[in-house]
Amino acid sequence: MAQFTPKSSPNISVEAAMEEGTLENLNNQSPSNSLETHSVRTLEGIARNLELDADYWVFRRFGRLHLLNLLYLQQDLVILEQKLYNHILKDETEDPDNLLPEIQRALSKYDAALAAQAQFNLYRKPESRTIRQMREWASTQKMKQNIRPLLRWLNISGQGSPNLRDLASIATNDKTWGHRFVDSHSHLQNMFAEEIPESRLPPKLLPSAAAMTTIYSEDKVRRAEAVFLHLSFCTFLMLPVVLLSYLESKTWKLVVLAITLFTASVLCVGSLNTPNKSSLALVAGYAAILVVFLSGNVGS
């Protein structure tokens, strides 16, 4: 359990603001910018650009506001609970006016807020690559209008490290090592690139991120990853078999067997996005094949 050391209130407020990454952003924003609103045309342009790839569906969590809302609703329920308790103590036969309907409405709001907060915490943090790409868009002259307002709302318009804990990527799934590898290499993205349908492109009058974004097919990446993994497994299986065929020393055979099993275990955990049971079953099957081959080779 975490231990908290009491501090003076000024230190707590400053450190909390620095930790959440809000202090620097508030200092960099003028009152006019913080209260600035944008037209539907600008919002539509932002939505069109975000529609190009679900990885860019990044939104603020507003964790403190959610907690404030929960505390406010909880406070109302405590007051209503006390009213009901006082009514019971007075042994009144008639129900108080509108007390039960108020309790029902307050409970509905409280339960919905709790469920929404629990669901919201399940969303993943956006990847640093996504934030970096959005900042690169904002640095270009064409993308100022459609991206910079979004960066200000997300508190990532500065050059410092973004506070990813305050951001939620609502459409990003758990990516395999192949997806992450392709994401980090632009030349590989071009190999799996696909054309963006015209219906998803922003209008000509609006600046577009389409020319600056490479959309690649995740299905193609999955197929390429599957082919690579199968070929790698076959190669990794045949290599120790060939070595064991030419080795006569039992000691060296055991060394080769131990090295290959250890390497297979590490690669299985690091490369495959599978549950532990599936990984253990795969390693056990791999070990069984080598042991059977080794025992048959020794017997011959």
User: Nearest CA to 99 among 83, 110, 112, 78?
Assistant: 83
pLDDT of residue 13: 40
| Tokens standing for residue 43 | 């919002």
154 has pLDDT over 90: no
Give dist(CA 37, CA 153) in Å, integer: 11
| E strand map for 82-182 | 167-169
User: Nearest CA to 207 among 147, 134, 152, 131?
Assistant: 147
Domain ranges of the chain: 128-216, 220-299
Output the 3-class SS for 62-104.
CHHHHHHHHHHHHHHHHHHHHHHHHHHHCCCCCCCCCHHHHHH
pLDDT of residue 38: 76
pLDDT digits (tens, 9 = 90+) for 184-227: 666 676 676 666 555 555 554 344 444 555 566 677 777 777 78
Highest mean pLDDT, choosing among 92-96, 118-122, 169-173, 177-181 = 118-122
Give dist(CA 88, CA 127) in Å, integer: 54
Please indicate, yes or no, whether the overall pTM of this predicted structure exceeds 0.75: no
Reported residue count of the chain is: 300
167 has pLDDT over 50: yes
Q: End-to-end alpha-carbon separation of the chain, Å?
A: 60
pLDDT of residue 205: 39
Mean pLDDT, range 94-100, rounded to an integer: 73
Give dist(CA 57, CA 49) in Å, integer: 10
Give dist(CA 77, CA 109) in Å, integer: 10
Burial (0-12, 13-18, 19+ Cβ within 10 Å), 88: exposed
Give dist(CA 237, CA 219) in Å, integer: 27
Mean pLDDT, range 60-82, rounded to an integer: 93
